Every structure is written in structure tokens, then in C-alpha cells.
Structure 1
Amino acid sequence: MHRTIQDYDFSYEGFMESAEQSLPLGNGDVGANVWLDRTGTLHLLFSKTDSWTELNRLVKTGHFSLALSPNPFAEGARFTLCLADGMLRIQAEKASVSLYADANAPCVRLLAEADAPLAARLEVHNYRNRPLHFSYTNAYQYSAAEVADGLCESADRVFDVPGGVAVCHRNEGSCYRDMLRTQDMEGFAEDRPDPLDGRIFGVAAFAPGLATREHALVSRAPAREISLAFYSRSAQGESSATWAEAVCQLCDRHGTDARQPVAAHIAAWRAYWERCYVYVWGDEDAEALTRAYVCQRYLTHCADRGAYPIKFNGSIFTAHMFEELPGNYDRRRWGGAYWIQNTRLIYWHLLAAGDYEAMVPFFRMCLDAMPVCVERVARHFGHRGMLLPETVTFFGLYNDKDYGLPEERARGARRGVPVNHYIRFHFEGMLEIAYMMLRYLALSGEGALRQELYEFVRQVLLFFDEHFDKLDGRIFLCPVSSLETWQTCANDLPDIAGLTVLLAELETCADVPEALASLAARMRAELPALPMATENGARVLLPCETRIDAKTRNVENPELYAVFPFPLFGLGRADLQVARDTFERRRFRHGFGWCQDAIQAVRLGLTDTVKNILVKAARMKDERAIFPAFFGPNFDETPDQDHGSNLCLALIYMLLQSDGTNALPFPAWPESWNARFRLPICAGRWICGECVDGQKTVREEGTLAGV
């Protein structure tokens, strides 16, 4: 049976009970949650990857509803989300609606067609129609409100534009300089632009044949065909009038027609699915896993080309209301910052899938944060290097609650050291990003960012070289944490493993600057040994050499970071049994959210273990949702991007493991499952493989023309 993406359309019949049952559309930057309520009204909740408020919250850009009369959806409808085409089709007996987020324009397009003429009314629901004040009461309000001297988020504006209606939010202030002050970084930004102040974003709807009336669009006369175009735009420092003029120009350039652009849109999605694919079948579990995989790949691609990285806690598709603010869909557990331990998992998946261009927003954010991260180290610790926080805003600062509010820090906090003990000595994240950058350079063949990425690596190494003492000629990592689980310790395994693979990877890189090469050469000779012990006759890896705080505070297995993300142990490598024995003795066993059991199991060739984990994970969507890849909330938020990314990465590794030169196909493949895949070794080299009834075939090919 020859499986293709066309076999995995998602279908649903009836109404949606809430926005949490919505279906996602996206073009890499602009998104929409779409649902039909019990009145037959269609809702579109828009989002964008750079819609940051005054308090550094990533919020929705607008909520619109479309009512048709006579109502063709009074009895519900059949929904088909065609992943192959990136399109949603809503079908009733005598009418249909098609929607897509145009792959080639910042626009969501809608086409309604009916057997008999229909009248339409499009309304804007301005749920941010008054200034909002926040204080930290729970994880859903994780923002900078506590330090911003009463700063609130300004109200949105709804207004008519030529041929349409618009809603936009303009930041009339910013928490940025208050955060700098709280984090002992006063004066840093005197000659730098504020990343939040004056930011403006929103959506404008245009429709030929509809007229503006009281900030709504209504039909001039019933028609059998109604076309709507929703344009999204973000900018910095503009007035709402300037923003509106620019969004109208977007409409003039790209038009309101939903038919003409659709062929190019579909072609872009088809190219995406043809370039890299995985299809698995053989039983119900295999089918469920494939559906989860392709739906997550779709969801990832809907948000992977924006100005900022994909948010681990919901991406741009959160659709939950604040209980205390009915109608407000901006709730996001853990707020606007990026947790490095969570965000990295999304990008390991993208790297393994050959989505090299999609890596750039993450790297660009990290590179842009370097100046403040370097200044932080110089100012607080008096040495060179950079410190990228584990919980970091897109502009390089800590979450204020993590660094500590003024009253918390007044109780004796050391300058530069966060009060949050979960991240106080957590340095592994920037090591992992540095290693990911080098792997990206090796696999992608891209050189445009090479020197900037090398400078990031150098600054990370300088921190580890100068922040810690030397003991008997070796770097002595203390105090550090072994992830969040062992929070004060010495010589933690994740940092040692990260330094080891990073320094080894540098030896294989081209055009390494002399300053970086000489630093790396010296540090290789100064690395401490991986912490290990013998338990019941078996050599195993340890989370750290010495535990100062002996209590576990989270549920990670740091000792297995030497398997993933830092591949010192695994298939084809020495001492595989050491890693397998360590995995078997792991303290925490979880197969959901950000937990890495599946990835580490497959890297060790433990076929049955990874299969069992993935079969369960594939069915763990949020019970409130209908879309298969709306996983969660798990530890974070629905749709949980760590859960889906881990699932994708583990499945890819079951079919192909490669170091960029050599490839190992089917390293952990169940005998009862069939598969067809196309996966990268590196840029320009792809492996196409099949396993049908136990017969495996593999061939190598180059990049597809035009893809």
C-alpha cells in the first residue's frame, strides 16, 4: 500500500463547543484557529509570531465572526482539514466555505459558495477594548507586570479602512527598561531601541461586495459567492494610521481573490510534503502514530517562518480564555518567555527533518540576545563570555519572576544570580544551542550565519572557561545544577557532555576563527571526566560528580544527556551497554511533554521501548480538543510543541540515524510495521526507504528540483 499525505485528511462533523475544539491554519507566520459555534456562526481567531504586548505577552491579533443568512450551517457542517493543501473545507448541504493561510502572502483567505444567494455579516470581537492590568497570581499571568510601575496593556482599536475593517493593538509603553533595572542592568539600553515600545500589530478584513457598517462588514446584496481576505501585519514605531495605510497596501498588492492564489499556495504545501515524509502502517497503532506525526509536522510548518521562534507553550494556536476575562483568548501558561530546555526540542526535530531554513528564527533570536548576555557576565561576574538565561525573553533578559522581584532580591540575593533555584545555576541550555548551531552548519551547508554562530560558540566557551575555577588542571564546575532536578552540585554531566561534544564538533568545522580554535584546543585538555559509578556490577552514568543539594526537584534524567542531546553514547559508539544500563536504571520514566525517554531509547536501539512510548504519546491529545496534534497541556500548554516534536524526532530516529556523513537506516524498527520515508543525511543528500512485510529497500538521492 503506497501511502501519501492525501490519505491523512482530518475530518470532523457537527459544531465545536468552544475555541479549544478549533482547527488550525497557518503560513509559517500568520495563524488562525477556526471553529463553528452552535448558532452556525464561523469564528476566526488570528495570531502572529511577533504580536508582543507591552508586558512581553504573545497574544492574539484579532477575533472575527462570520454569519451567513439564510444560515447554511444551522445543522452543523462537515470539516475537512486537507493537510496536503494547507486548506480547511467546511461543507453543508447547500453551501461550503474554504479557508487557507496563503503561503505567499500575510493573508488568510476565505471563499463561501452556495447554491442560492447568501447575505454575510462579518464582525470584529474586540475583547481587548479596555486597558488591562496584570499581577502575578498564577502561571497563566507570567509577565513583567510586577516591575513595570503600574504599566498596563493598552486597549485595541477597531476602525474602518477603505474597503474593510481593522483591529490593531499598539504598545503605548514597555516593560523593557523596568526589567533592565530589576535585573541590575541599568544603562545598558541607553543607545538601543526598545523592542516593545511602539510595537503595533493587528488584522484587517477586506471583502468586495461587502460594505462597512458600524465597524462590521455586511453584504450589499445576497450573492452565491463571497470572498474575504484577512491581512495581518506587525511593525515598530508606527501610528495606527500609518499601520492601516500599510495593511491596505498589502491588500492592493496581493488582492482579495481567494481563487487566483490557491494554486501557488497548494504547490508550496505539496513541495513541503514531498521533500521530507514518513508514513507508517501495519496496525491501528502505526496508523495513529502516522496521523500524529503528520498533524504535528503540519502544525510546526504553520508557525516555523516567523520573526521569532515557535513557542513551546502553545505555538500561535493557544485558544483558551482567562476565567476572569470571558472572551479573552490570550491565556498562555508560562507566558511570553522562551524556556531553552523546551524550545530546543522543537529545533532538534526541525534539524533532523532537514528544515534548515526554519532554524534561522531561533538562531537569530539567540544571536540578537548576545550583547545583553555578554554585558550581563561582564557586569555581574567581571569576566568574559555570555550567559543566556534558561528562561529568556526574546530580547535576552530573564523572566523577572525568575531573576527576582526587588523585594525578593532585597533579602540577600547575589547580584547576577537568579532567586529561582530551578534555573539559578542552569547553564546547559546555551551549550546545547551552540552545539545545535554547529550541527546546523555541518548539515545545512549554509554559510551566511557562519561567523555569527562561531562568535556565539566562542562566547559560550569563554563563560565556562572563565566562570569556574581549575582544580588539578581541570575545569571544576561548581556551583552548577544538573538541569532542574539536582539543583546545586559539582561537575554535572549535562555541562561536561555538552562541552565535550561541542569542542569535538569544532575540530570538524571549516573556517574556524583562530581565537575560537585556540580556545577550544586548550579547553579540550581541561575537561573533567564524565561522572560515572559502578552499581550492582554495571558501569553507569551519573547526573553529577557531587550532590550538594541531595533532593530531586524535577523529573529529568540528566545522566542520559550523554545519549541525547549530546551523542557520546549510542548505536555505533563505544560503551553502548553503559548507556543502556543507565537508561534501564533511570529514576524517572515518562513518555509525554518534554520528557526525552523516547528519543534516548531510540538512540540506544531499544525498539520495543520507543515503540511503546510513541504508541501512547500519539493518542495523548488534549481531551478538550479535536485536532490530533493538539497535545497537552502536560507540563505546559496546549498545543504542547515539546510533546509533538519529541514524537516526530523519535519516529525519524527509528527510521534513520545519521551523523551527516554516514547513515544507519531502520536502526530501531518493529518487525510488524511497514514504512515509507524520505529523510535527510545532510543538505543535498536524502535517504528514501521502504519496509513492506519485512522487506527493506533503501536508496540515496539528491535534493528535489524546485523544493
Structure 2
Amino acid sequence: MRGFKILLALILLCHHQLLHSQSISKYNIIWDSQSKNSGESMPVGGHDVGCNVWVENGSVYLYFGRSNNFDENNALLKSGRIKLDFSPNPFHDVRQELKLENGLIDITGSNHELSASLRIWVEVDRPAIHIELTSNKPISGQAEYQYWRFEKKPVITRWVVPSFIDYPGNDIYWYADSVKNSQNKIIFYHQNNNDDLVIDKEIIQQDILHLKDSLWNPLKDFVFGGMMSGKNLITGKKGDGSYIGTHYKSSALVTKNPSTIFNLDILMHSGYYKSSKEWEKSATKIASAKTDTKSLFKTHQNFWKHFWEQSYIFINNDKANPSDSIWQVGRNYTIFRYQMACNAQGEYPTKFNGGLFTYDPALINNAFASDNPDFRAWGGGVMTAQNQRLLYWPLLKTGDFKTMPQQFDFYRRSLKNAELRTKDYWGHGGACFTDQMNQAGIVSGREFGWNRPKDYERGLQYTPYHEYYFTSQLEFSFMILEYYRYSGNDIGPYIPFIKSAIKFFDEHYRFRAKQNFGTEFSSDGKYIFYPCMALETYTGHVKNPSDVITALNVLTKRLQQLPLKYISSKEKEYYSAMASRLPEIPLRERNGHKTIAPAEQWDKIINMEIPQLYPVFPWSVYGLGKPNLQLAIDTWNYGVDNANQKDYISWHQDAIFCARMGLTDEAATITVKKLKNAGRRFPTFWGPGHDWVPDHNWGGSGSIGLQEMLIQTTDDRIFLFPSWPKAWDVSFKLMAPNNTIVEATYKNGKVEKLSVLPAERMKDVVLMNQ
């Protein structure tokens, strides 16, 4: 009998996994015709590699790149483009499918009696791309590696290297890649020119040249590239051509003999090397190591199987209708999560302005038609922290904890640089991380101001959008603490950053108060956060912004709750004293209603954010199950100053705010606008919005809003379906704090299934909207 029960349990488990796989496969993207150009490409990736794949005029194309391909200008470069041609050509009638459940793209083609199937996938443990074709008859093939950085050229449009916007000189160049054929391999790499690094220019601009020997420069000695090879492939001809206005050169591999099998492998490699020979020696050693492709593919399959079983949201999947915008919400949420997972093991975080999947800029904005495929608005290495955060908040509830540290490491690696700058500029401790900062912890040249007045204060950014804006470092500190609360994983490596981020606000605003008012605190012993900013929006003589006060209030209290291995008793006393000196969140009356004010005072409104609702998200001071919810709701209804502060595109957080306040109809309406099809061939290539295509902070903010509609937590309570429309059927599996897994099915306005692990957490569940 016991054996029968075990067998039955295994059958039920397999049945559940089968149904789950079928649900994911409903979200696969299938095209039954060729694409017009790269703007109709499909993403595939793994490890830290992303590829755009499309079939055009019978040729299979592939853009590819890594999340760490940063050149001298700190532009995030593509590794190149592959063009595959076959003779006779089977790709006349074409079917292209993104198989989410398998993490790969399948392209099948036929031409009369000839047929072929081509599979493209990227390893999860190495930056390696595999292209595998089988055909029913022997065919010949050519793999052409195309590259457009073949000579030194001036940079025309500064948006691709935004640090150089307003730079007074003309000495900004693209430097050439090196490409060569060697033993039936194509070797390609980019070696950064140490004599012309943008960070070195910024160090001079920002008057810290005397610190240069102590500052870490991640661009120095950096070499990135790869090798392309395959069985039955030999080196072919070199060539050149033009694609969407960009001239390129090429090297090719061709089949030695016609065959029914065509395999192409691209292994990428990067690192710090004094010479290109050292890089090539290292890359060749890695490439020559024996590997079992079948075993690698099995590992690949297991990764994606676990990934999809770990978390999901399926909306109206029993009545799947691709033209239904509500069904699209669940499908596009899923695809965006997949796009983030393509950089699951990257050293650097996924960029908000396109991630790994940008393509030719002329297809997005004709103003950039003269730029090459490396273009993305807002650049590569400069991290716009206010946008980046939205990509990583959703990973808490999906349980993608292995990916989140890549964003935290951005701050960990550059902490010393940020602290050195702070000490040099203002003579006090702590780290000053600005919003527009490169991976070295140095301010972007544009925001620091190439044409700043000579008497302008050292250290300050010469831009009204960022002059006194340092708040993002507090939000990422909170994200790390939430990561710990959800996962229990060690955050020891990031505690110094959190401490330093908060120390900056303590010491800097005591310094400012003494400078401006002759005393470190107000008459009632409180901090005076002046001059400050409320996000990028409220500027000009800003005093005590609500987002800054809320952030420090939450962080100082949360740090006191950490174990002694992270925060000593003496440090807890320090944070307690800080908390006691924080002013109250400012309030104001609007249309007869008490609302949260952006700040105690300000002069101008220059952007479209709503900092007065940041106490709702991310800081969770107001919301369901918390005091004064009506104050937050009235702030949403009456406390916004300009109509354009409410929107659904790009980084706007309106759906998140509404979901956290229990405003179901508004949250649902905005989420549908946010996560419906993008209007491009690939449904999650949103944008450009305020940024670029695909706009990843568009998908990130939409994902957070959808998750908050399903599950929210206050203290130990887990609120389920707090802002969920009764007409939407859904099955989901999401994380709650303390390694809690919640899996539920909601149909016809009722909960049909509910599972909570560990089981003792079921007592904390509060079912809503029943």
C-alpha cells in the first residue's frame, strides 16, 4: 500500500509538472513568416549572453553580446552579428518559435522537398552560444561573422556615450576590434585603449586626479571577445557590406563538405590582460577544453525547468486568447522574466535601457540613423539607478535570489572610490553614490558638467536633475535588506555599503546645516535635509523631502533589527539616535484633504515622478494593513501637482502605488496598459518611452505592480489577492518573506487551491477579495 501511495504521488507530481510545462508553452512566441529586419527579432540568451534572432530574405541573423562588454567610452558593445546562409536554402517557408520552457529558439524551414530545423541556445554556466541545424538532405552552409568596428572612427552621436554629452573636445573615438582567422576559427576581441579611457577623463574633470592611483578603473586592461568554430567548418572568404546604413566587414566559416548536420559554436571570453596575446592564450585554452554538448544541453534544460517551476503567474490560461490584453499581461510578465534570466549569471546587472536585446537604432528613431547597432540612449556603463532598481525589485517575489547580487555588487565594487570622493570633496565620511554614476563610482561626465562654472562647488553635479540627488543608494540598501528578509542569504559583503550610504546622509547634512545655519541640527534637535531634492522632480531650495525622511526612517529601524554579526550593539545605538533626529514626514492640505507633501519646501517641478508616494513604494510605510492608509489614497487622488506625473509608460509606478493601496480597478487598468503587447513584432520590446527599446524598466515596474496585486506582506501577515479583479482567473507561485512559498489558484472570484510552505505560515495568510 505504501508503495502504491508513493507511485501515486509521483504520478500526480509528474502530472503537475506536465500541466505546468503546458502552461508555459502557451506563452511561446511563434512566427510563421520571415522578418523584415532586426527590429522584428526574437530574444534568446543565458549566463550573461543575449542574442537577437531573425530570418530575413532566407538568411538567419543573430546579434549577440554580453552584459560586461564595456569599451574605452564605457559604451556597452555588441560582440557582433552572425549571418547564416545555406545552399540549397531550406529557409523559404519559415516557422520561428521561442520555446520558453526550454530556453531556446527553434527555426524550421522548407523549400519544396528540402527541410531543415535549426536550434539556437545559450549555455547557463558558460558564455557560449550553440547553433545546431539538421536537414533531410545534405546542404552546404556559411557562417559569416560581421563587425562594424573595423577602424578608428569619431563618435558622432553622444547619446551612445552620454558621459561625453557637452564634452568640449572632438577627441572621442570608436576604436577598432581585432578579427582574425586561425586554424579554422574566427577570433574576435576588443582590447580597451588604456590611453583613452573615459573614466580617466572624468577623474580629471572632477578634480580628483590626485586620487587616481587609489581609484579602481574597471575599463583599464579590459579585453572582451570570443571564438567561433564548428565541426566540418573551415575558414572562408572575407567580405564587406552594409546593413541598415552601417558598413561592416566580415570573415566567414564554410562547410568543408555538404552535410545534413551543421553546428556552430561561439564561446565568449573576457578579463583583464596586459596584452591581447594573454587574452588569446586564455581564450584558446578555455575553447580547447573537452566538452560534451549533450551534457551541456541537459544542464541547460534543467536550469530552465527549475526556473519555470520556481515561480509563475498564469492569467486566464484556461481560455487563452492572444488578442486579449488581460491574457497578454500574464504572458508578457512571463517573457520579461525570461529576458531578465538571460543575464542570470552576469557580473554586471541588466541595463534598463535595452538589456541585452537592443538592435539597429534607425528602426526606433530615425534621428539616430547614422549610428551603429551598439547605440542605446542613456548609454551603457552609466547606471541610472532610479531606473535600474525597477528591474531588480520583482526578483524578490520570483525567488531569483542568485541574480540579485549582480546589482548589489555594482555598489560593493566601487564603494572605496565613492568614499574617497566624498572625503576629498566634503571632508566627512560615508559614500556618495549619485544617480548617474559609472561602475567605478565616478559621476557621469555629462551630469558633473563639462562646462561647469569654475567657482561651482567641487563634488556637486552641475545639472538641475541631480545636483543634490543621492537617494538611490538608500533604496538599494533597502533592497539588500529585503533580499535578506526574503531569502535569508548572507549579506555580509554588502553591509559596508549600507552603513556607508546612511553615514553619508548623517554626516553630509550635519555638515550642510552647519554650513548654512551655523548649527548641525534644527532648534528641536532634528536633521535639516537642505539643500536636497525630492527625486529628480522637485528642485530648488528643497528642504526635508518626504522620500529621504521615509528612507532613513525605515533603514535606521531595520538595521537595528539585524543580527549582531552584521550590526554591533554600538552601531544599533547610533542608528537609534539617527532615527530619533529625523523630522516628521511633511504633510499639506490639497482640495480639503490631508496629503503627503513632496517636501517642506521647493521652488520648481522639472520631472514627472511622485516622490510623495514613495512612502507607499518602495518604503512600505503606508499601505494595506498599515496605519493612515487614507492619507496615502488622498495623496494619490489629490496630492499630485501636475497631470504628467501620472502615467503608465516606462518607469512610472502608478500601478504599484494603486495595488499597494488596494485600489483594484485603477491598478488593473494601469497594469493592462503597462503589460499589454508593445506594438512591435516581439510583444515585450516596449518603448522607447522615456528610455530605449526594449525598455526594461517598463517591464520591471509592470511586473512589480502585477505581483503587488496578488500578494503583499505587512509584518508577518500575507495578504493574498489584495488588489485582484474578480473577473481575472489566475494561478501563481510567488515568494513571501522568510523563504515562504505561496502557490494559489483563483477562479470565478474564489480561491480554489492554496499551498503555503512552510506549512506553519498558513496561519499568517489573509485572503482578500473573496
Give the alignment partner of residue 50 of structure 2, picking from 5, 17, 31: 31
- 2:231 is the counterpart of 1:208: yes
Mapping for residues 326-365 of structure 1, pairs under 5 Å: 328-336=372-380, 337-365=382-410
Q: Distance in 2 between matches of 1:28 and 1:220?
A: 31
Report the 3-state secondary structure (helix = DSSP H, G, I; strand = E; otherwise coil) of the residue aligned with 2:387: helix
Task: Specify whether residues 440 and 681 from structure 1 end up closer, same or farther in structure 2 by C-alpha distance, changes over 3 A only.
Answer: same
Contact residue 124 and residue 167 of structure 1 kept, 8 A: no
Q: For residue 608 of structure 1, what is the amino acid of its counterpart?
A: D
- Deviations along 1:231-258, one digit per CA (max 9) or x if unpaired, are 1111112533332333333333364x75
Residue 503 in structure 1 maps to residue 550 in structure 2? no
Match of 1:552 among 595, 602, 605: 605
Q: CA RMSD in A?
A: 2.0
Question: What residue in structure 2 maps to residue 241 of structure 1?
Answer: 277
- 1:247 and 1:435 map into 2 onto residues whose CA distance is 39
Alpha-carbon deviation of 1:584? 1.2
**Contact (CA 8 Å) 1:200, 1:238: kept in 2 or not?**
no
8 Å contact from structure 1 (residues 385, 460) kept in 2 = yes
Q: Is the 8 A contact 1:56 1:144 kept in 2?
A: no
Is the 8 Å Cα contact of residues 733 and 743 (structure 2) preserved in structure 1? Answer: yes
Answer with 575-584 or 312-321: which moved more.
312-321
In structure 2, the residue matched to 1:199 is 222
Structure 2 equivalent of residue 271 of structure 1: 306
* Cα distance change of structure 1 residues 163 and 260 upon mapping to structure 2, 3 Å threshold: farther
Aligned-partner residue type, residue 430 of structure 1: Q
- On the 8 A contact 2:73/2:161 being kept in 1, the answer is no
- Opposite residue 201 of structure 2, the aligned amino acid is D
- Match among 399, 422, 425 for residue 465 of structure 2: 422
Q: How far 1:310 sits from its partner (Å)?
A: 1.1
Deviation at 1:660, TM superposition (A): 7.3
Matched to 2:403, the amino acid is A
Corresponding residue of 1:567: 620
CA–CA separation in structure 2 for the residues paired with 1:175 and 1:89: 41
Do 2:158 and 2:164's aligned partners in 1 also have CA atoms closer than 8 Å? Answer: no
Aligned partners of 1:98 and 1:111 also within 8 Å: yes
Secondary structure, aligned partner of 1:177: helix
Q: Which amino acid aligns with 1:178?
A: K
Q: Secondary structure in 1 aligned to 2:504?
A: helix
Distance of 1:378 and 1:191 partners within structure 2: 13
Given residue 139 of structure 1, which amino acid in structure 2 is its aligned partner?
Answer: W
- Residue equivalent to 2:24: 5
Larger deviation, residues 304-313 vs 656-665: 656-665
Q: Deviations over 1:441-491 (max 9, x none)?
A: 2222112x32x3222222122211121221120001111111111112111
1:168 counterpart letter in structure 2: Y
Cα distance in 2, alignment partners of residues 90 and 556 from structure 1: 43
For structure 1, the 5+ residue unaligned runs are: none
Who is 1:464 aligned against?
505
Q: Is the 2:332–2:677 Cα contact (8 Å) retained in structure 1?
A: no
Matching residue's letter, 1:480: C
The amino acid across from 1:471 in the alignment is S
Q: Would the aligned equivalents of 2:325 and 2:677 in 1 still touch at CA under 8 Å?
A: no
Residues 582 and 327 of structure 1: CA distance in aligned 2, closer, same or farther (over 3 Å): closer
Please report how far the alpha carbon of residue 203 of structure 1 lies from its aligned counterpart in structure 2 after TM superposition.
2.6
Shift of 1:192: 4.8
Residue 589 of structure 1 corresponds to 646
- 1:300 corresponding residue in structure 2: 340
Tell me which amino acid in the other structure corresponds to 1:426.
Y
1:642 to 679, 690, 697: 697
Alignment check: 8 A CA contact 2:190 2:225 kept:
yes
Which TM-score applies when normalising by structure 2? 0.86
Q: Cα deviation per residue 1:308-364 (whole Å; 9 max; x = unaligned)?
A: 111111111111246777682100101121111001111111123221111111111
- Over residues 473-523 of structure 1, what are the superposed CA-to-partner deviations in whole Å (9 max), with x where a residue is unaligned? 000111111111111211111101111111121232112134531221111
Give SS of 2:223's match.
Answer: strand
8 Å contact kept, 1:659–1:681: no
How many angstroms does 1:189 deviate by?
A: 2.7
Deviation at 1:299, TM superposition (A): 0.5
Query: Does the Cα contact within 8 Å between 2:430 and 2:500 map onto a contact in 1?
Result: yes
- The match for 1:655 is 710
- Partner residue, 1:690: 745
In structure 1, give the amino acid aligned to 2:86: L
| 2:428 aligned residue | 383
1:610 and 1:232 map into 2 onto residues whose CA distance is 43
What residue in structure 2 maps to residue 484 of structure 1?
A: 536
> What per-residue deviation string (whole Å, max 9, x for no partner) do you get for residues 411-434 of structure 1?
x32111111110001121111111
After superposition, the C-alpha distances for 1:268-288 in whole angstroms (9 at most, x for unaligned) are: 101000011111116723311
Counterpart for residue 221 of structure 1: 257
**How far is the alpha carbon of 1:8 from its aligned partner?**
1.2
Which residue does 2:16 correspond to in 1? none
One of 58, 75, 89 as aligned partner of 2:106: 89
How far off its partner does 1:702 sit? 4.9
Q: CA deviation at 1:628?
A: 1.4
Distance 2:444 2:627 in 1: 41
Q: Tell me the secondary structure at the aligned position of residue 554 of structure 2.
A: helix
Offset of 1:540 from its aligned partner?
0.7
1:462 aligned counterpart, secondary structure: helix
One-letter code aligned to 2:312: Y
Q: Equivalents in 1 of 2:289, 2:741: separation in Å?
A: 37
8 A Cα contact 1:607 1:669, kept in partner: yes
Contact 2:361 2:376 in 1 (8 A): no
- SS of corresponding position for 1:555: coil
Query: Of 175, 181, 185, which residue of structure 2 is paired with 1:164?
Result: 185
Per the TM alignment, residue 163 of structure 1 is displaced from its structure 2 partner at its CA by: 3.7
Inter-partner Cα distance in structure 1 for 2:593 and 2:28: 49
Q: 2:79 aligns with which of 57, 61, 83?
A: 61
Residue 409 of structure 1 deviates from its aligned partner by 3.4
Structure 1 length-normalised TM: 0.94
Compute the displacement of 1:45 (Å): 1.0
Aligned twin of 1:21: 40
User: SS where residue 125 of structure 1 aligns?
Assistant: strand
Q: 1:699 maps to what in 2?
A: 755
Identify which of 41, 47, 50 aligns with 2:59: 41
**CA–CA distance in 2 between the matches of 1:200 and 1:370?**
24
Residue identity in the other structure for 2:705: A
Q: Does 1:607 align with 2:664?
A: yes
2:329 is matched with: 289
Q: 1:162 to 1:129 in 2, by over 3 A?
A: same
Please tell me whether residue 142 in structure 1 is matched to residue 162 in structure 2. Answer: yes
Partner in structure 2 of residue 536 of structure 1: 591
Q: What is the CA-CA distance between 1:21 and the residue it aligns to?
A: 1.3
Q: CA deviation at 1:654?
A: 1.1
Read off the aligned partner of 1:207 and give its amino acid letter.
G
The within-5 A match list for 1:68-79 is: 68-73=86-91, 75-79=92-96
Distance of 1:319 and 1:495 partners within structure 2: 38
Call closer, same or farther: CA 1:620–1:546 in 2, change over 3 Å.
farther
In structure 2, what residue type is equivalent to 1:121?
Answer: Q
Q: Is the 8 A contact 2:625 2:714 kept in 1?
A: no
User: Residues 441 and 147 from structure 1, CA distance in 2 versus in 1: closer, same or farther, beyond 3 angstroms?
Assistant: farther
**Contact 1:179–1:397 (Cα < 8 Å) also in 2:** yes
Q: Is 1:619 aligned to residue 619 of structure 2? A: no
Specify the alignment match of 2:243 in structure 1: none
- The number of residues matched between the two structures is 691
Shift in alpha-carbon separation, 1:238–1:44, aligned structure 2, 3 A: farther
